[in-house]
Chain A
Amino acid sequence: MTSPIQPGSSADNHQISEDVANAAERRWAIIVILIILSLLAMMIFTGLHWAAMPPSRVESVDVRTLHIKGEFVESNLGTTVEKDGRVVVRLIAQQYSFSPQCIVVPAGTQVTFRGTSTDAIHGFVIGRTNANTMLVPGFVSTFTTSFPKTGEQLMPCHEYCGIGHEAMWAHVQVISPEEFFAKAKASERLNCVPR
């Protein structure tokens, strides 16, 4: 609180009240800038310290030969344990389904997703998790995440991709790491699509 303005000539009062107004404004501007700076600091800290980053890297892929050669041929889709021990899920989206339609992942383990689209722009979010990406034709989306709890999650397409968009839902089964790695030994690519 500021002290009441002393009586004086009106021009003086005017000057005093204007100074008070300017000082209040300046204080507020400083507070605002501090708020913004602390938000930025949090973004930098969590980015560097927790490696929490949105999906990145600019990697393109030829959509015309996607099905017949390279990483995204049908036999290579699904979950696999790479030679270096990383768990990788490869998937593609097309109007109006994902391949595979049911994805198996181990709980509590870092899982890398690699996906792309063969036609329109698609995208997905897995249940209540932060696994959330866009699938843009011509580009490979990559992100790494982990699923804390076992159970089944829904994985809808979340970008309008044509009239069948609302029917494009896949499933994700999060199973215990023991069960997952036992299964992974038996077959090369895992999925939970009913045969």
Chain B
Amino acid sequence: MFHARKLVLAHFWVAFVAFFVAILLGEWQMYIRSPLHAWVNNPEHYYRSVTAHGTVMGYVLPTLVAMGFGYAITEITLKRPLIGLRWAWAGFWLVIVGTLMAAATTAAGKSSVLYTFYPPMIASPFYYLGIVLVVVGSWIWVALMSINLRAWKKANAGETVPLAMYGNVAGAYLWAWTSVGAASEILVLILPASLGLTDTINAGLARVLFSWTLHAIVYFWLVPAYIVFYTIFPKAIGGRLYSDTMGRIAFALFLVFSMPIGIHHLFADPQVGSGFKFVHAAMTAMVSIPTFLTVFTIVASAEVVGRLRGGTGPFGWVKSLPWSNPMMLAVTYAFIMLGFGGAGGLINMSYQLNETIHNTQWVTGHFHLIFAGAIVIMYFMAAYEMWPQLKNSAPLSAGLIRAQLTLWFVGMMVLTMPWHLVGLLGAPRRMAYYDYTNPALHPQAITVTMSTFGGLLLVISAALFIYVLATARTQSAPVAPYSFSKAVHPHTKTPASLNSLGLWVAMMIALTVVNYGYPIAQLAATPNASVPIIPIGER
């Protein structure tokens, strides 16, 4: 096994090095807008930094992790060499070239549009072309995942697709479809304006197209983390998965409900009517179902382990869990952050409650808890689990990993809790500095200092993560082949609908068309909607 070893390593290393650079930028942003530092001399530097931080964290890191982890899952679970290794390398290089293009343009100050692409501010075409290359590179991965699964199914007719692979391919299809929104925004609206072919743009339509990608992309980031929950965690703590079927249902539901929800980001926008806002709010509520089911199944899997280790009573099993196991610790931290972040998410999606916190620092707090907290901590675990396979190394130091995870958890809580608080007080997001001499803002200064301190813990944790990976020592004896968790009741017959993704993909596309078709058509036909563009970096 492992023809793709170098491929996976390349994806992981690029992802994590970019991640480390981006986290330094993030901490710099918190520092310069805290009272610890004078106002930034040129606010544009701040927005350049936010653009780079968001572009790496939102597009480069999760895409590369999902791709690399996906290739590893394919070879491990299907137990055969990856089909299309050369294509996979081509996809990798496309992502690299695209990232470098976007990074160079951002560093030069030609693309300070943040990472959310909200025209009429338009960056240099090289920035958008870079993003397009990243997406096209990842589409090669999508195709390869589909091709590999198909080939395996043909050779193993009637067998159940391994759960990790099922989730992996569901994530790939989800990404393929959700990226269509931003891709069409860039290709149809932004690039023509950026290249100078047109000097006006429909800003409202662009926002709606971007919202197609904007929320579902979070579930694409989430899928690798859920694969770790379902197929690595139970075995890592010495147990089995409580229910294989529930894992399949969760992945399938993510596929269906992730897409038709993006308009909840536009609750305060004038270009979408209240009807579709309500429909998307309702759909966003539905997408919490797979997470609720997952929390139940994963906690139940842990309970089985706790009871086997002698725990009794309603809570006694919690005490007897293997707490010194890094995976136990990581999933616990992830669930706590998912709990706070998810509660915040229910507020964001609520048709009415959203108005209190829309576009405030609360939102930043929410998505850092969910993504940088619950999801990235699972990316760490995916890397730690795969590393001995990839490097043929001895087991990594559990002590260092525990310290790294704990720093990450504490840092993330210290970073985001003050953000939630000031968000409720109406602090706007995306500010290069705050005027703390204003009596209304003065009391908030302390919260920014706290977040800066939390960010520092995160920087230390990220450095420790890189250190653990970089110092893994290769050993001479080959490492035993990796295997994913088995279910407690593995003999359950998997229904055909949960052994393939066709039905769910069809539902995903149909629901998207129903939920986006009319708003998009209406906006495209709205008079006066095209407004002059504002090029960035031409002062």
**Inter-chain contact B207/A63, CB cutoff 8 Å:** no
Interface residues of B in 253-299 (CB under 8 A from A): 266-274, 277-278, 281-282, 285-286, 288-289, 292-293, 296-297
**Inter-chain contact A154/B426, CB cutoff 8 Å:** yes
B434 CB-CB contact with A under 8 Å: yes
Interface residues of A in 57-97 (CB under 8 A from B): 57-64
Distance in Å: Cβ of A98 to nearest Cβ of chain B? 13
A14 CB-CB contact with B under 8 Å: yes
**Inter-chain contact A52/B273, CB cutoff 8 Å:** no
CA distance A164 to B529 in the complex (A): 25
Given the known inter-chain contacts A25-B297, A28-B296, A119-B534, please indicate yes or no for A158 contacting B282, CB distance below 8 A: no
What residue in chain A is nearest B526 (Cβ atoms)?
A60
Given the known inter-chain contacts A136-B269, A142-B270, please indicate yes or no for A166 contacting B434, CB distance below 8 A: yes
Segment at the A interface, from B11-19, B146-154, B346-354: B346-354
A134 CB-CB contact with B under 8 Å: yes
**Inter-chain contact A43/B351, CB cutoff 8 Å:** yes
B90 CB-CB contact with A under 8 Å: no
B428 CB-CB contact with A under 8 Å: yes
Distance in Å: Cβ of B530 to nearest Cβ of chain A? 7
B55-93, CB under 8 A of A: which get 1 and which 0?
Answer: 000000000000000000000000000000000000000
**Inter-chain contact B285/A39, CB cutoff 8 Å:** yes
Number of interface residues of A (CB under 8 A): 66
B31-66, CB under 8 A of A: which get 1 and which 0?
Answer: 000000000001110110010000000000000000
**Inter-chain contact A60/B288, CB cutoff 8 Å:** no
Which B residues are in CB contact (< 8 Å) with A141?
268-270
Interface residues of B in 358-415 (CB under 8 A from A): 358-360
What residue in chain A is nearest B277 (Cβ atoms)?
A54
Which A residues are in CB contact (< 8 Å) with B300?
21, 24
Segment at the B interface, from A100-108, A121-129, A174-182, A187-195: A121-129
* Most chain B C-beta atoms within 10 Å of own C-beta, residue among A25, A128, A135: A25
B118 CB-CB contact with A under 8 Å: yes
Cβ-neighbour of A133 out of B270, B441, B528, B531 (below 8 A): B270
B198 CB-CB contact with A under 8 Å: no
Which B residues are in CB contact (< 8 Å) with A46?
351-352
B522 CB-CB contact with A under 8 Å: yes
**Inter-chain contact A138/B529, CB cutoff 8 Å:** yes
CA distance A157 to B426 in the complex (A): 11
Given the known inter-chain contacts A25-B297, A154-B440, please indicate yes or no for A14 contacting B489, CB distance below 8 A: yes
CA distance A39 to B345 in the complex (A): 13
Distance in Å: Cβ of A67 to nearest Cβ of chain B? 13
Cβ-neighbour of A18 out of B285, B293, B346, B492 (below 8 A): B492
**Inter-chain contact A59/B352, CB cutoff 8 Å:** no
Cβ-neighbour of B350 out of A32, A43, A119 (below 8 A): A43
Distance in Å: Cβ of B450 to nearest Cβ of chain A? 20
A5 CB-CB contact with B under 8 Å: no
* Most chain A C-beta atoms within 10 Å of own C-beta, residue among B267, B271, B286, B300: B271
Interface residues of A in 108-159 (CB under 8 A from B): 116, 119-121, 123, 125-130, 132-142, 154, 156-159
Pairs A-B, 3 closest by C-beta atoms: A56-B274, A158-B428, A141-B270
27 chain-A/chain-B pairs, Cβ below 8 angstroms: A18-B492, A21-B489, A32-B289, A47-B352, A54-B354, A54-B355, A55-B268, A58-B273, A119-B531, A121-B121, A125-B360, A127-B440, A128-B426, A129-B426, A132-B268, A133-B270, A134-B268, A134-B270, A136-B270, A136-B271, A158-B430, A159-B359, A160-B430, A165-B47, A166-B43, A166-B431, A166-B432
